[in-house]
Structure 1
Amino acid sequence: MIKHVGSPNPRPSQCRGEIKCFRIGCTPKATIDKYLEEAKVFVGKANSKSVCPVFPSRRSSALRTVAKILDNGGVIGTPTDTVYAIAASCKHPDSIRRLYTVKGRPTEKPICLCVSHLDQLRKADPPFSPLLWNFMNRCYPGGISCVVPKGSWLYNLGLGDAYDIIGTAGSICIRIPDSSVLAYLVSVSGPIAITSGNPSGGADSTHHDMLIGSLGHKLDGIICDGESRESCASTVVSCLKIDQGTITYFREGCTPKEVVDKHLEDAIQQTNSQLHEPTLQRHVTAPGLEIGA
């Protein structure tokens, strides 16, 4: 049990940042002291005029506030299942354009589309092959991003005018993180455009402090969740030729190439067993077939 030293109900201006332990139980005093220091830093950053508002990741009320920021056209920083990212709602094309400005990203580099789960993608009814679906079933959710053919099915996700801003003319990168924070935000606000939370060419943000320090003055809010789960971003895989039994890599990130290649091999086997088509068997399992690049 802990107690503030001072008046029974101190106003913020009176708080001295001190606590007193009546009993040291299962949680060591050093741990409680560490929590206090982290709280001081958190409050200090929240009150800083040079930094956007910050929100704790474990409070649903805070996440609802961030969802409203997205709905109102704001750009936010968020944890993912890899490193920190910045995001904007697909309902606001100008906010997606602002992502490029915030991080100084060249406009020729596409931005990913983030959805909450694979069923959300299925409901949009993209004309993907059984092999691509079987492959994505193994990749999502998690630290793999799949580049797939673009099409009118994206309007079923509510992209609207954002269609021409996200991805390239013929393809789009789909991100489905294994993240409760992002799953909640997308379920409330709809699909979001997302990119890594660092200045273009800079180091990945592996703690909310890094994101606050580098881009905090340009954002409308940051969700703070401490250390990131990974030290680098997701692995980005092109699935544009997957029906030829081939995938290529735009970036090898937190998920090793060997793991992704195994996903493809297993997806090919599953697809062959489902379709019972010898032509597919010969096509995708021919000797010397290249998997990866």
Structure 2
Amino acid sequence: METKRLNEEELNTAVAILKADGLVAFPTETVYGLGANALSEKAVKRVFAVKGRPTDNPLIVHITGFNQVKTYVDNIHPLAEQLTEKYWPGPLTLVCQTKKDAFPAVVSAGLSTVSFRMPNNDKTLALLNASGLPLVGPSANTSGKPSPTSSEHVYHDLNGKIEGILEDGSTAIGVESTVLDISDPNQPPMILRPGAITKEQLEQDLGIEIAVDKHLIKESEAPKSPGMKYKHYSPDTRVMMIRENDWEKAIAAARQQALKVGVMAGPTIVNQVQQNVTTVFTYADDSVEAATKGLFAGLRALDETNPKLDVIYVATFPEKDLGVAYMNRLKKAADQQYFE
């Protein structure tokens, strides 16, 4: 199968592919999504097959706004419209109770809830509007590996497996959306997956306390949201988290064991350690925003280093504001392993 790399002038080609139950990867502000007609069981099953994604992992449905959500949702939460007015289009996914048979069961992994998002990307919004379809859009990569933040990452993983990629360079944020459970109209919202829209931001804007589900789903359990499994976003190379004060010890230990080490960090740390490691991936600056944007790209780049690295050391950040989302992804990529 030829994977076509499509520009915005070829939007009609992308629409035709989707209407024929084909797959088109699309850009968002977070990561690239693997698009398929959410109303077609055949198309959605292809998404799981192409990604190698476990069928107990539900998908997010991408739509054009709150009016489209109302078509599919039962028992709408009293805060739903306020949330969409404030944050859509944007990196907020809402888990809602859906009407019976609104979507094929494979979309929700058999649950009675479905997650919805309106992405903040002009090309993808144009695709949604032109197709008139709700589109599932899990990350456009091999399941469990670092999410794709550029069309090149998508092409690397899925070339020859999908019909098209709607191209738009690199994504702005770099990690997936915040997932907020509002499926019970009688309960306050709960964050199932942290993202760029933070708990603090939601609490300030809504004037209520927001709960956070910190339970990491075991392999035997069915997640309510994508990204709740223990190990995720992982390259083949072992990843280890390095706390701010442990870099000297970590580098010394690696040298003693003659390990080939790659380092992912901001310029300050990289400048301190790069003479003593095999290779580095430097974030644009020392901020958590730059680290978040560069995390998945860095994991991919260092995983493909030749000769193969023994371990990738990655800088940690305080778990506050955007640092919560960054550390959530990093902990899963590292299988919770810190240098001790």
TM-score (norm 1): 0.66
Residue 44 of structure 2 aligns with an amino acid whose one-letter code is I
Equivalent pair of 1:97/1:165 in contact (CA under 8 Å): yes
124, 132, 142: which is aligned to 1:199?
142
SS at match of 2:169: coil
Q: Which amino acid aligns with 1:233?
A: E
Aligned to 2:247: none
Deviations 1:32-65 (A, max 9, x none): xxxxxxxxxxxxxxxxxx7511111x32xx0111
* SS of equivalent residue, structure 1 residue 165: helix
- In 1, the alpha carbon distance for the partners of 2:164 and 2:210 equals 44
Larger RCO, structure (CA 8 Å, separation 6 or more): 1
- Hey, what's the Cα distance between the residues in 2 that align with 1:91 and 1:170? 15
Whether 1:94 aligns to 2:35 is no
The AA in structure 1 aligned to 2:51 is K
* Structure number having the greater helix percentage: 1
Cα pair 1:71 1:91 within 8 Å, conserved: no
- Counterpart selection for 1:116 from 56, 59, 64: 64
Amino acid at match of 2:122: S
Alpha-carbon distance in 2 for matches of 1:185, 1:230: 21
Q: Which runs of 5+ in 1 are unaligned?
A: 1-49, 269-288
Q: 2: distance between equivalents of 1:192 and 1:113?
A: 5
Is residue 2:53 matched to residue 1:133?
no
Q: Which amino acid aligns with 2:211?
A: I
- Change in Cα spacing, 1:214 to 1:228, as seen in structure 2 (3 Å) is same
Unaligned runs of 5+ in 2: 214-340
Q: Distance in 1 between matches of 2:67 and 2:124?
A: 15
CA distance in 1, matches of 2:182, 2:116: 11
Amino acid at match of 1:172: V
Partner of 1:83: 31
Tell me which residue corresponds to 2:112. Answer: 170
Alpha-carbon displacement from aligned partner over 1:197-240 (angstroms, at most 9, x marks no partner): 12111111111001101112211111111111221111111113
Sort the Cα spacing of 1:216 and 1:70 in 2 relative to 1 into closer, same or farther, 3 A.
Answer: same
What is the match of residue 147 of structure 1? 95
* Distance across 2 between alignment mates of 1:79 and 1:216: 16
For residue 292 of structure 1, the aligned residue among 209, 212, 228 is 212
| Distance across 2 between alignment mates of 1:291 and 1:150 | 22
- Rate the CA distance shift 1:259–1:97 in 2: closer, same or farther, 3 A: same
CA distance in 1, matches of 2:211, 2:185: 9
Distance 1:225 1:104, change over 3 A: same
Q: Which protein is bigger by CA-based radius of gyration? A: 1
- Structure 2 CA distance, aligned partners of 1:138 and 1:225? 25
2 CA distance for matches of 1:68 and 1:181? 16
Equivalent residue of 1:243, what SS?
coil
Paired residue type of 1:177 = P
In structure 2, C-alpha distance between the alignment counterparts of 1:291 and 1:78, rounded to whole Å: 31
The answer to whether the 8 Å contact 2:72/2:98 transfers is no
Aligned length: 211
Deviation at 1:117, TM superposition (A): 1.6
| Kept after mapping to 2: 8 A contact 1:77/1:84 | yes
Select the residue among 187, 192, 201 that pairs with 2:129: 187
User: For the residues of structure 2 that align with 1:131 and 1:175, how far apart are their CA atoms?
Assistant: 15
Is 2:192 aligned against 1:250?
yes
Residue 22 of structure 2 aligns with which residue?
Answer: 74
* Equivalent-residue separation in structure 1 for 2:85 and 2:20 (angstroms): 33
1:169 Cα deviation (Å)?
2.1
Match of 1:209 in 2: 152
Go from structure 1 to structure 2 and tell me whether the alpha carbon gap of 1:93 and 1:68 turns closer, same or farther (over 3 Å shift).
Answer: same
**Match for residue 54 of structure 1?**
5
Post-superposition CA distance 1:178-198 (Å, at most 9, x none): 222222222222111111112
**1:54 corresponds to which letter in structure 2?**
R
Give the Cα separation in 2 of the matches to 1:290 and 1:224. Answer: 36
1:232 aligns with 2:175: yes
Pair 241,261 (structure 1): closer, same or farther in 2 beyond 3 Å: farther
Root mean square deviation, CA, Å: 2.1
